[in-house]
């Protein structure tokens, strides 16, 4: 039973030297057998384990993480949460995830710092405005919030933007008010704490090196800590999906591994109250953290890579976009930079699905949407594993869509390698 966090416990800790806090997850040794093994201790893997235990009462579960919690993509992203998608398959899934975000701190009894500060997508041309109107009208038809701010309204909410001297004039913005940001490491810690309290083993420093097969099914994994057997195994390993899929015998998946860079500035007084997105003409997004740092990013590095670092051409592209819409931050110092390693699917949409190998389940292909999907991904993946059938929110997110010619193509480009 986990201890409850509340204002009184914080006050009591301040009066007693903070000695009453208990360890919220330990370092257990793996058992010989589990009902379910989840490979990957990022947000998606931890959320899956939590929902398996909390909703499906499957508590003999292990999460295997080759590094440490939050050391992968969970700690290497720009923390944006939104559901402004328009294509069936994505629309219902991301809205399902956003609804889970809205109650997540209360459910986990852990402050994930979810801030619904609005996602503001700037408009620069009449044609872009018309194209985005279609997206936001479809969202509203599906019960998802969205609205248009003309330039006057936008100036009231975001006065620091470059309205007068930009190469591309800002005409207005399409906005999702319920969207916002969350604290990436707090999300991991909250799910880890809640899952551990329900009996889940979180095993760090345990790298999966192979799979154990029996009669065509996967029945366990080979790890740096020895063999571990399981009735079911779920993979949620982000950019390393292709490597493990090959070891499991899945063959070539319709994904490529790319890196996506992010940046954090030195702390400033509040200047960016929303998530501001420079889209259509370029690709840039920025928000401000609770510590005051500007958190921003842009496009992928356009080549396959497993490196968690960036390169100068993307630096230049991102900074140029920043100066286009927020020249007032031109002399602000950059504090740190990193890159997430992501599996980019051919149609830009994810997979939460059973595979053709009995006992093996796949969570992959998150492209730009991994962090915002965290609770929805875990909730739907747990449902799929526990019941051998998809949740209604991930019914379309299968590998079979490529065989059947029904791609979920949010951008309208088709299944083009190196595009997404």
β-bridge partners, 223: 208, 226
Tell me which residue of 232, 235, 256 sits closest to 247, measured CA to CA: 235
Those residues whose C-beta lies under 8 Å from the C-beta of residue 261, and which sit 6 or more positions away, are 297, 298, 301, 310, 314, 315, 318, 337, 338, 339
Strand ranges of the sheet holding 334-345, from the earlier edge strand across to the other edge: 147-150, 172-176, 119-123, 275-278, 284-288, 293-300, 255-267, 334-345
Which string of DSSP letters, residue by residue, matches 336-357? EEEEEEEEEETTS--EEEE-SS
Which string of DSSP letters, residue by residue, matches 17-83? TT--PPPSS--PPPPSEEEEEEE--SHHHHHHHHHHHHTS----EEEEESS-TTSSGGGSS--EE--
Q: What is the pLDDT along the chain (420 residues), one digit of tens a residue?
A: 567 888 888 888 888 888 888 888 889 999 999 999 999 999 999 999 999 999 999 999 999 999 998 888 888 889 999 999 999 999 999 999 999 999 999 999 999 999 999 999 999 999 999 999 999 999 999 999 999 999 999 999 999 999 988 888 999 999 999 999 999 999 999 999 999 999 999 999 999 999 999 999 999 999 999 999 999 999 999 989 999 999 999 988 999 999 899 999 999 999 999 999 998 777 899 999 999 999 999 988 888 888 888 788 888 999 999 999 999 999 999 999 988 898 999 899 999 999 999 999 999 999 988 999 999 999 999 999 999 999 999 999 999 998 888 889 887 665 566 555
Which helix (H) or strand (E) is 234 found in, with range?
A: strand 226-235
pLDDT digits (tens, 9 = 90+) for 2-13: 678 888 888 888
Structure confidence at residue 108 (pLDDT)? 97
SS3 sequence of 283-304: CEEEEECCCCEEEEEEEECCCC
User: Do residues 80 and 371 make contact, with C-beta atoms less than 8 angstroms apart?
Assistant: yes
Count CB neighbours of 317 within 10 A. 16
Burial of 74 (0-12, 13-18, 19+ CB in 10 A): buried
Measured CA to CA, the distance from residue 170 to residue 23 in angstroms comes to 50
Domains of the chain (ranges, CATH numbers): 27-82+86-108+184-254+347-404 (3.50.50.60), 119-177+257-342 (3.30.9.10)
- Give me the chain's average pLDDT, please: 92
In the chain, the percentage of residues whose pLDDT exceeds 70 is: 97
Those residues whose C-beta lies under 8 Å from the C-beta of residue 319, and which sit 6 or more positions away, are none
Structure confidence at residue 309 (pLDDT)? 81
Tell me which residue of 19, 35, 42, 7 sits closest to 237, measured CA to CA: 42
Structure confidence at residue 6 (pLDDT)? 85
Those residues whose C-beta lies under 8 Å from the C-beta of residue 407, and which sit 6 or more positions away, are 346, 347, 349, 401, 414, 415
User: Do residues 238 and 341 make contact, with C-beta atoms less than 8 angstroms apart?
Assistant: yes
pTM of the model: 0.95
């Amino acid at each position: 039973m986990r201890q409850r966090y509340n204002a009184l416990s914080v006050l009591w800790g301040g009066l007693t030297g903070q000695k009453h806090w208990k360890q919220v997850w330990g370092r257990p040794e793996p058992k010989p057998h589990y009902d379910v093994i989840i490979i990957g201790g990022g947000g998606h893997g931890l959320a899956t384990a939590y929902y398996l235990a909390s909703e499906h009462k499957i508590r003999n579960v292990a999460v295997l993480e080759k590094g440490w919690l939050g050391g992968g993509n969970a700690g290497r992203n720009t923390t944006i949460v939104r559901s402004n998608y328009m294509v069936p398959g994505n629309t219902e899934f991301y809205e399902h995830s956003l609804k889970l975000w809205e109650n997540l701190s209360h459910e986990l009894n852990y402050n994930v710092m979810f801030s619904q500060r609005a996602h503001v997508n700037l408009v620069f041309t009449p044609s872009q405005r018309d194209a985005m109107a279609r997206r936001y009208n479809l969202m509203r038809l599906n019960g998802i919030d969205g609205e248009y701010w003309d330039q006057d309204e936008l100036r009231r909410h975001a006065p620091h933007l470059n309205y007068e001297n930009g190469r591309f004039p800002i005409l207005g913005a399409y906005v999702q008010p319920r969207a916002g940001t969350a604290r990436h490491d707090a999300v991991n810690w909250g799910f880890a704490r809640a899952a551990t309290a329900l009996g889940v083993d979180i095993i760090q420093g345990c790298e999966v090196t192979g799979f154990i097969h029996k009669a065509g099914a996967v029945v366990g994994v080979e790890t740096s800590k020895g063999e571990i057997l399981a009735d079911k195994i779920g993979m949620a390993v982000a950019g390393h999906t292709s490597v493990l899929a090959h070891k499991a015998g899945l063959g070539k998946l319709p994904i490529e591994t790319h890196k996506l860079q992010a940046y954090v500035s030195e702390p400033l007084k509040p200047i960016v109250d929303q998530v501001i997105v420079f889209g259509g003409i370029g690709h840039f997004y920025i928000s401000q953290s609770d510590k005051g740092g500007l958190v921003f990013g842009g496009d992928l590095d356009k080549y396959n890579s497993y490196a968690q670092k960036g390169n100068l051409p993307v630096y230049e592209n991102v900074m140029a976009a920043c100066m286009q819409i927020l020249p007032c931050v031109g002399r602000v110092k950059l504090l740190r930079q990193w890159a997430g390693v992501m599996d980019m699917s051919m149609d830009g949409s994810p997979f939460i699905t059973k595979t053709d190998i009995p006992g093996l389940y796949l969570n992959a292909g998150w492209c730009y949407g991994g962090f915002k999907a965290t609770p929805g991904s875990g909730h739907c993946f747990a449902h799929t594993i526990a019941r051998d059938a998809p949740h209604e929110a991930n019914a379309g997110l299968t590998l079979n869509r490529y065989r059947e010619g029904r791609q979920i193509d949010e951008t309208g480009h088709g299944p083009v390698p190196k595009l997404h």
